[in-house]
Amino acid sequence: MDKEPFLARVRAQLARAGRWHEGAHPDRPPPLPDVRQIPEGELVEFFCRELGAAGGQLHRVTRAEAPAKIAELGRARAARTFAAWDSPLVASLSLETALPGLTRIAVGDRLTLRERLEALDLGITEADHAIAETGSILLLPGPGRSRLVTALARYHVLVLPVERIGPSLTAVADVVRGCRDEDGRLRSNVAVVTGPSRTADIELQLVTGVHGPLELHVLMLVS
């Protein structure tokens, strides 16, 4: 069906329903005051608790300690490969030096990326925002920020400077609205990640690590 007749059916039906349509102006959305208030002082503790409840693992480290922590996580899981975002914060961790013996999979060619990342052990990224209310982290797209690195890795390790934690889920709306490229165009994909992948499809028993990462490690950078 063409666009116009398709939309016309909706328009005609709403016009027929006349009275029902009144009282709700399209550009006057209902007010949605935030129902979740978390006091400023409890923000970090709240985030840590919710991240844990969602099955994520938290590590409090300084920026200087972060590379060694990642190396330790990799060793404990017998990791052989890693891939990382090419973002300023992740780059500053000098991962090649920190992870000797691990092969870095360069993101590079897009068409073969899936095949090359199939054996990815550590996917190392950063979170631009985190939400205390739900223990979620936000993964933003952009140059050097591969989505598949976060989705195909067996273990997703990310760094989160503590000051990036905000209280409420309502922040997601602003982040999505504001996530644009240099031409002002919306970027392709914002992911709100809450714990590792999971399923309860087998007799409602919770199992973590389905198609996405088996584990989610958040390195919270404190001073």
- Of 159-198, binders to other proteins (CB under 8 A) are 169-170, 172-173, 176-177, 179, 181, 185-198
CB 164 within 8 A of CB 128: yes
- Closer CB to other proteins, 152 or 221, in the complex: 152
CB 30 within 8 A of CB 151: no
Subset of residues 198 to 217 that bind other proteins, contact rule: CB under 8 A? 198-205, 207, 209-213
Concatenated DSSP letters of 85-110? --SHHHHTT-HHHHSTTPEE-----S
* Distance of closest approach, residue 155 Cβ to other proteins, in angstroms: 13
Residues 6 or more apart from 114 whose CB is under 8 A from it?
148, 152
- Closer CB to other proteins, 36 or 80, in the complex: 36
Closest C-alpha among 185, 105, 183, 184 to residue 148: 105
Considering only 107, 120, 122, 124, the residue that binds other proteins (CB under 8 A) is 107
- Closer CB to other proteins, 71 or 140, in the complex: 140
In angstroms, the CA 165 to CA 131 distance is: 6
In angstroms, the CA 217 to CA 51 distance is: 10
- Closer CB to other proteins, 81 or 150, in the complex: 150
The answer to whether 57 contacts other proteins (rule: CB under 8 A) is no
The answer to whether 91 contacts other proteins (rule: CB under 8 A) is no
Considering only 50, 126, 128, 215, the residue that binds other proteins (CB under 8 A) is 50
- Closer CB to other proteins, 106 or 222, in the complex: 106
Task: Measure the N-to-C terminal CA separation of the chain; round to a whole number of Å.
Answer: 59
The answer to whether 20 contacts other proteins (rule: CB under 8 A) is yes
The answer to whether 118 contacts other proteins (rule: CB under 8 A) is yes
Subset of residues 126 to 155 that bind other proteins, contact rule: CB under 8 A? 133-136, 141-148, 150-152
CB 128 within 8 A of CB 138: yes
